[in-house]
Amino acid sequence: MSERTDIIPSYLDQASLKQKYAFFQTLICLSGIDGKTADEEIAFIEEMAKKQGLDDMQLLTDFANKEEVVDGVKIINNRPLALELIYEMCNLAHVDNVLSDAEVMLIGEVGLAMGIEIEKIEQISNWVIDNIVLREQAKIIFEVEE
């Protein structure tokens, strides 16, 4: 699950409704790009959408056309929001503990469509993975049972 920190402000709060829909349509497309959508992925998206006041997930749930999604994210024309989308895509891709080639490809295509460099996408991805590893280590160190 995505965990915000003080160093990563949310730019989604100030996004237009069209940008928010493009953001969530992208997450929904990512959740099904590998041919299956895990319950954890849907819960991740629904929780984020509710925080944005987008309670009508029906408008989004059937959206899976990759080409339209990649074209649609071009409406996200501010870099901080684009970086936030890449960050959330990386989090979502790891929520079910299975990172597929199709997920990696979509994250790259979406990033490039928004003008984000591959190197920056890799930095974000590595940072997300490092945080996952640190959270898992904390569970072991502090003997947290799930």
Structural domain contains residue 87? yes
Structural domain contains residue 103? yes
- Number of domains the chain contains: 1
Q: What is the pTM of this model?
A: 0.90
Q: What is the rounded CA–CA span in Å between residue 105 and residue 110? A: 9
Structural domain contains residue 3? no
Q: What is the rounded CA–CA span in Å between residue 144 and residue 116? A: 37
Model pLDDT for residues 11-39, shown as the tens digit of each residue: 999 999 899 989 999 999 999 998 888 88
Structural domain contains residue 128? yes
Closest CA to 111 of 102, 127, 122: 122
Q: What is the rounded CA–CA span in Å between residue 116 and residue 101? A: 19
Structural domain contains residue 1? no
Model pLDDT for residues 56-92, shown as the tens digit of each residue: 666 556 666 899 999 999 999 999 999 999 999 999 9
Structural domain contains residue 39? yes
Structural domain contains residue 2? no
Range of the domain at 17: 12-141
Structural domain contains residue 52? yes
